[in-house]
Homo-oligomer: A and B are copies of this chain.
């Protein structure tokens, strides 16, 4: 295999490598996944079968949810088997095909894992990526699970009304930065929780938050109380932990809590403890719901239309933090839990080698 791929924006024209590099999960992470939990191996490019296509990955996605996929504990999906390629979303291009659903040269976003190549059936594809409409990288972020999650979790579960107050944790992150803008687009008052002065400025300067608070500051509790003096209608939580406990105690009666992630809690085994929250649920008559985007894949057509509309109108901006080279993937995953990334974390692997 040594094809030249027809050129489109973002699709490489050089000849393709003739072997396949893969990041295998070799040990079960305890808490935050570390690079030592993965091993980079080389092997042959897998063979096509009828009904499948060979995908050359271009952008590997780095997502906080990958910790849960790699862990052995309770999760919404079966754990990645040890010794197999790390489960991951990616954007890739079809280089060879035996299915009319995935024609050669077409680009897609799907379950392509942390590797150069994969052979996939069409059911592993989540969406078509059209490089004429948006940069290919966007299909792994604002037009991928980050944008879909922000849109559906906010609009369906949070359902903010104009002039309500929406509080968001990891407000400068790949999901939170979109939630803040969407809530503002819907007329809500927005407060972002983030982890540094620099990210606070991003929140208020770039992502449309009216207020931003550094949850690492020593007077966080006082600042939260001051900013949320009138109560919070929607809390969009990506962190869990003590930030969640504090936020719950500022909810208005009838408030909605969207549990979208738990990035602030390093380990769930053994089960961590914290404040009891059932009395807050009761007395504030909260509706606290969990959101996993993979329950909602049948709703994507509406979502893509509206995301594209906001993007075209300049009402949705996004940042990407892209490294080159497959070697960078595991360390990039470790880094997102400490918040070192600046925008959606991606690994570009479309260069020749």
- Residues of A in contact with B (beta carbons under 8 Å apart): 68, 74-76, 237, 240-241, 244, 249, 253, 259-262, 265, 268, 271-292, 295
Contact = CB atoms under 8 A, between A and B. Distances in A.
Contact of A288 (B273, B281, B283): B281
Contact of A292 (B244, B283, B289): B283
A76 B273 contact: no
Contacts of A253: 76
A76 B271 contact: no
Contact of A237 (B244, B278, B289, B291): B278
Contacts of A291: 282, 285
Nearest to A288: B288
Given A285-B295, A287-B287, A292-B283, A278 B74 contact: no
B240 A279 contact: yes
Nearest to A240: B278
B276 A260 contact: no
Contacts of A285: 76, 289-292, 295
Contacts of A288: 281, 286-289
A286 B290 contact: yes
A353 to B, nearest CB: 38
Given A76-B253, A288-B288, A289-B287, A259 B273 contact: no
